Amino acid sequence: MLPRIISSRFLSPAALLAAQGCSPPITAAAKAAQIYFPNSRMTSSSWAGAGKSQDELMLKDECILVDEHDNIRGHANKHSCHRFVPEQPQGQLHRAFSVFLFDESNRLLIQQRAKDKITFPSVWTNTCCSHPLFGQQPEEVDKPEQVADATVPGIKHAAVRKLQHELGIPPQQLPLSSFRFLTRLHYCAADTHTWGPQAEWGEHEVDYVLFIRAPVTLAPNPEEVDGVRYVTPKELQEMMHPSSGLLWSPWFRIIAEKWLQTWWADLEGVLKGGHQDLGTVHHIL
């Protein structure tokens, strides 16, 4: 039997808590910037996305462009990165992250993306999926040595920012030291379900996978999230069976089919630093 949906559109935060059981040429300016943009002017002192529409965020937020080996190439807004059009049929490859948050019973928190999302609306996915951004304070652009030693403070700061924005989780409940960076995957997926076989929107990302276990309070943002659930491995397997009729994000399906079962079965080991593959970008195209 599938677990009951906890919909952020119909439950107050208090009730919800109670119910919880290849790219075009980069611009000359981008080429001129140093690899971590040390000479580039910061575009903002902090993220100011709260209350903005999906369209506004698409134009405002600056993603970090990378090559297939995760080397930084520049930055571009989300609209440009996610457009699959003749001049850039696979959008622009950029950094992303996927958070898998577990409760104290080792249940995974998953979400259903809002129906008004531009890419992959209404699909189920992991706890939070988004992008580190250029021009933020705290800094969200990680250096190679920060990836190599698994600290990735920029990715973690971005994760905390979006967990608050999408799910209303207070930052103090998400200490950076509690996140574990496991690996990266490079994938590309046009959103043909929403936009048809000639879809002009999609994702092309180097995705950083983060695990965290923490007791959190939830107040989902209906602009971002239609529903949330905590699930066991068995419940997730039932939800992902074709007979359920549920849609899933391509990045979550890749992670679920390739790694999640092993990682989840040894969650204690993962949280102690096990199962890390820091030097590999897994190309799953």
CATH of the domain at 18: 3.90.79.10
Task: Note whether residue 13 is domain-resident.
Answer: yes
Residue 60 CB contacts under 8 Å (≥ 6 apart), including other chains: 49, 52, 77
Residue 270 CB contacts under 8 Å (≥ 6 apart), including other chains: 180, 182, 211, 263
**What's the pTM?**
0.83
Per the document, the length of the chain is 285
How far is Cα 54 from Cα 46, in angstroms, rounded to an integer?
18
Q: pLDDT tens-digit profile of 74-125?
A: 999 999 999 999 999 999 999 999 999 999 999 999 999 999 999 999 999 9
| Candidate list 81, 129, 140, 224, residue with the active-site label | 129
Our measurement of the distance from residue 272's CA atom to the centroid of its chain's CA atoms, rounded to an integer in Å, reads 22
Task: Note whether residue 1 is domain-resident.
Answer: no
| Candidate list 140, 166, 205, 224, residue with the active-site label | 205
Task: Report whether the peptide linkage leading into residue 250 is cis, meaning its omega lies within 30 degrees of zero.
Answer: no
- Whether residue 221 contacts residue 106, with contact meaning beta carbons closer than 8 Å, is answered with no
Torsion from C-alpha of 76, 153, 254, 269, nearest 10 degrees? 180
Which helix (H) or strand (E) segment holds residue 145: the answer is helix 144-148
Residue showing tokens 């300016």 = 29
Q: Residue 22 catalytic?
A: no
Nearest alpha-carbon partner for 36 in 151, 179, 177, 132: 132
Tally of structural domains, the chain:
1
**pLDDT for 56:** 76
Each residue of 140-159: b (16+ CB within 10 Å) or e? bbbbeebbeeebbebbbbbb
**pLDDT for 192:** 96
How far is Cα 184 from Cα 49, in angstroms, rounded to an integer?
26
Q: Residue 56 catalytic?
A: no
How far is Cα 117 from Cα 77, in angstroms, rounded to an integer?
16
Task: Note whether residue 272 is domain-resident.
Answer: yes
Domain with 245 in it: 6-283
**pLDDT for 48:** 62
- Interstrand relation of 281-283 and 62-66 (parallel, antiparallel or unpaired): unpaired
**pLDDT for 166:** 98
Task: Note whether residue 128 is domain-resident.
Answer: yes
Cite the beta strand spans of 191-224 per DSSP E: 202-213
**pLDDT for 59:** 76
Low-confidence ranges of the chain (pLDDT < 50): 1-45
Residue showing tokens 């040595």 = 145
